[in-house]
Amino acid sequence: MKILLATDGSKYSEESAHFLAKLNLSPDDEINILHAISWVPVLSEWEILYEDFKEIQKDVVPRIFQSTVDALKPVKAKVSTLFKEDYPDKAIVETADESKADLIVMGARGLRGVGSLIVGSVTKLVAIKSHKPVLVIRQPEVNKSGVMKILFATDGSAYSDAVGKILSSMPFPDNTELTVLNVISTVFKDIPERFAVEINDRIKNIVAETREKELIESEKIIDKACSGLSGKFSKIEKNIKFGDASIVILDEAEALNADIIAVGTSGMRGLKGILGSVARYVLNHSKSSVLIAKI
């Protein structure tokens, strides 16, 4: 596996390295540490200081790399470093493509807001622009000890298949536990069930038949996701829930005390590229690390 580890020298980036140190990486695996700086603001506002910044760069960049390399000492993978002068999000996305990386790993650089975690702008832009899987590490979760737990939210789409593919290829610890979740957004979501079933027998029968079909389809979706992951994880649990996917995923992750939430997204590219609404909500509000995959 080829991993691009993006670092800005912050504690959030260093914790991403500590997370990678927990994986069963082999000598055949590669970790490319990338640090990128954009000097455009410097050139436009303080051009006279550019040479001074270049001198500082010569001193600071090696220290950033050394700190990250030290955090990766336990791993057996090949470790290399790369410095670029460019907008960080652009450098990360382009380097991932050029190096044929399988996964981009970076810190959330999150700030606690009112009822949410605000993802750093670079992290968000990379998640939007890159077609490579992106693993965003939340610092509080890295410090947890014990069995690693992953919540894989699947809707049976090709985007979810992409998540399953990256999960099956990642060298997680041998005792890692996986929960595969499918959230059913019932056709009766706009009608409170306690009122619908009280209307008459016809409504009761329609609700019951629809619910049965939804459950059968949900079981098929989960079985499909599990089929490609059997033997990879020490324990796989199946979970079906009804409700709003964005809310249910976060609730289940918290109840599970999940280290990682894995979701697919139908992200679109463009000047203002977007993530799918569920992936965007999970990325912005999750207390767990988040793995996002596209196709």
Environment class of 151 (CB within 10 Å of its CB; exposed 0-12, middle 13-18, buried 19+): buried
Q: Where are the alpha helices (DSSP H) in the chain?
A: 11-20, 40-45, 50-71, 88-98, 121-129, 139-142, 158-169, 193-199, 201-227, 245-256, 277-285
Q: 203 in a domain, yes or no?
A: yes
Question: Taking CA 95 as the corner, what is the angle to CA 75 and CA 279, rounded to the nearest 5 degrees?
Answer: 85
Residues 102 and 150 in one domain: no
Residues 50 and 178 in one domain: no
Among 61, 88, 108, the domain-final residue is: 108
Residues 164 and 276 in one domain: yes
Parent domain of 86: 1-108
Q: Are 126 and 106 in contact (CB under 8 A)?
A: yes
Q: What is the CATH number of the domain that holds 249?
A: 3.40.50.620
Q: 124 in a domain, yes or no?
A: no
Q: 139 in a domain, yes or no?
A: no
Residues 149 and 289 in one domain: yes
**DSSP characters for 199-267?**
H-HHHHHHHHHHHHHHHHHHHHHHHHHHHTTTTTSSEEEEEEEES-HHHHHHHHHHHHT-SEEEEE---
User: 156: phi > 0 → left, psi -120 to 50 → alpha, else beta; which?
Assistant: left
What is the pLDDT at residue 187?
60
pLDDT digits (tens, 9 = 90+) for 122-171: 898 999 899 899 999 986 544 455 789 999 999 999 999 999 999 999 99
Residues 97 and 172 in one domain: no
Residues 156 and 294 in one domain: yes
The residue to which tokens 């912005």 are assigned: 284
What is the pLDDT at residue 199?
60
Residues in the chain: 295
Residues 149 and 292 in one domain: yes
Chain mean pLDDT for the chain:
83
Residues 102 and 209 in one domain: no
Q: Which two tokens stand for residue 191?
A: 């009608």
Residues 104 and 154 in one domain: no
Residues 90 and 214 in one domain: no
Q: Which two tokens stand for residue 291?
A: 């793995």
Better-predicted residue by pLDDT, 206 or 50: 206
Dist CA 153 CA 286 (whole Å): 13
Residues 87 and 170 in one domain: no
Q: Are 163 and 152 in contact (CB under 8 A)?
A: yes
What is the pLDDT at residue 49?
53
Q: 131 in a domain, yes or no?
A: no
Residues 98 and 173 in one domain: no
Q: 64 in a domain, yes or no?
A: yes
Give the mean model confidence (pLDDT) for residues 104-123: 66
- What is the sign, positive or negative, of the torsion defined by CA atoms of 256, 7, 73, 168? positive
Q: 227 in a domain, yes or no?
A: yes
The count of structural domains within the chain is: 2
Out of 10-14, 149-153, 210-214, 291-295, the most confident range is 149-153
Spatial neighbors of 77 by CB under 8 A, at least 6 apart, are 3, 25, 26, 27, 28, 29, 30, 31
List the beta bridge partners of residue 135. 105, 291
Among 83, 108, 133, the domain-final residue is: 108
Better-predicted residue by pLDDT, 284 or 274: 284
Among 82, 108, 134, the domain-final residue is: 108
Range from 65-69, 161-165, 183-187, 238-242 carrying the lowest mean pLDDT = 183-187
Q: 16 in a domain, yes or no?
A: yes
Dist CA 134 CA 103 (whole Å): 6
Q: 217 in a domain, yes or no?
A: yes
